[in-house]
Amino acid sequence: MKKAVYTLLFFFLAGGSTLLFGQDPAQLEDARTIRRIYDLALTQSSAYDWLYHLTKDIGARSGGSPEAAAAVEYTRQMLDSLPTDTVKLQPALVNHWVRGEPEMVRIVNSEQIGTQDLHALALGNSVGTGPYGITAEVVEVFGLDELETLGREAIEGKIVFYNRPMDPTQIQTFAAYGGAVDQRGYGASRAAGYGAVGVLVRSMTTRLDDIPHTGTMRYEEGVEHIPALAISTNDAELLHRLLEREAVRVFMRSTCRSLGYSESYNVIGEIRGSTYPDEIILVGGHLDSWDVGEGAHDDGTGCVQSMQVIETLHQLGYQPQRTIRCVMFMNEENGLDGGRTYWERSNAAGEYHMAAIESDAGGFTPRGFSCDGDEAVFATKFAQVYEWLPLLEPYGLTLSKGGSGADISGLKSQQGLLFGLRPDSQ
């Protein structure tokens, strides 16, 4: 079903539905075609085989790594085996950061528990601590604004521990993520501005477990670069309880470093439109993952769903009126380098993306699509899109205004519609 939903929206946009262009309604025929899309995707899909190879045979695919290069070549070959008119590699310079040796975060000589190791991962782009590590007292805050309240005297020479959790009452967990992720993204530089020597961040998840979650962070110009690590939510709870009773000292060690920029590629395959070849409908996901996970949900699923669009439309015997372009973006996780390269070159070339659809929210049960665009676009085009809703409702799908995806965000200026696939986020 997950693959069928993605192909379904593409079919509408590519000109397959009579509803889109104001012709005489033919909802019965549209409904039959939708059913065929579902049947084909559920019974004759190559997507799970592609995903298995990406995640199990190739594995973690961080930007600039040999595994990322292998993923580029594999998806190029798979697109070449599909009925595409052209397949190409688009060069993109990507931020190449490596984790180094396993990290160590250790509570030192606590009155309550003695010495205890915590589960930790360095954040992407972080500098390392140096070979001998850092030992310092911990100061806990629940947001960036608290740093100003505490002031330099309370922070200088210490490790700042950001412990604002994701809000578990948010039904849409991406909203909860957005309410907490500023600590990870900007916490190190803000703390360094007050003289901190390091940062610990509560992992971005609503679960209580021992699994630390990495993610990207960035340094502000003119501020010292200090090491930043994420700790598991269980360890964050432990550290919080200890800090309520006593001053806590922590030792942290990491050897991560940046290797500068390396050449990599976006992978692009397309079918030229039969009637409106200069009107592009993009479907895509990002090919890279973090170095500590196989990236099945983030975002191997989005990549194979995108390739599946081409396969399923071919199985239907459908020739799109508009150009279908499948893009696997590189290094979304740690710099958005592939997405930025794509939209900068597209904008400079004067291309027109009538629509762009990104899948980067996981591979769970699809619930629908959110749609983005500037106000002028919404005033006309979203009303047309909303006419599809009766055809989507039998499959439990919705259409709503909202965000789309990071890799396609720079295409908004082309005055098309941007869509994000929205699976069950719980």
- For residue 3, pLDDT over 80 is answered with no
Q: State the average pLDDT over residues 158-180.
A: 94
From the number of C-beta atoms within 10 Å of its C-beta (0-12, 13-18, 19+), residue 143 rates as middle
Q: Per residue in 240-294, pLDDT tens?
A: 999 999 999 999 999 999 999 999 999 999 999 999 999 999 999 999 999 999 9
111 among known catalytic residues: no
Q: Per residue in 393-422, pLDDT tens?
A: 888 888 888 889 999 999 999 999 999 999
Q: Per residue in 41-75, pLDDT tens?
A: 889 999 999 999 999 999 999 999 999 999 999 99
Residue 23's pLDDT band, with cuts at 50, 70 and 90, is very low
pLDDT of residue 22: 43
Average the pLDDT over each of 11-15, 313-317, 358-362, 366-370 and give the range with the smallest value.
11-15
End-to-end CA distance of the chain: give it in Å, rounded: 18
Show me where the domains of the chain are located: 2-96+260-423, 100-255
Q: Nearest-CA neighbor of 41 among 78, 5, 81, 77? A: 5
Q: Per residue in 290-331, pLDDT tens?
A: 999 999 999 999 999 999 999 999 999 989 999 999 999 999
Q: Per residue in 377-395, pLDDT tens?
A: 777 777 777 788 888 888 8
Match domain 2-96+260-423 to its CATH number in 3.40.630.10, 3.40.50.970, 3.30.450.20, 3.90.226.10.
Answer: 3.40.630.10
Q: State the average pLDDT over residues 148-166.
A: 98
pTM of the entire predicted model: 0.92
Q: State the average pLDDT over residues 108-127.
A: 98
- For residue 2, pLDDT over 60 is answered with no
pLDDT of residue 374: 79
Domain 100-255 of CATH type 3.50.30.30: yes
- Which one is catalytic: 67, 103, 140, 332? 332
Q: CA–CA separation, 414 vs 410, rounded Å? A: 9
pLDDT of residue 29: 80
- For residue 332, pLDDT over 80 is answered with yes
- For residue 16, pLDDT over 80 is answered with no
pLDDT of residue 25: 54
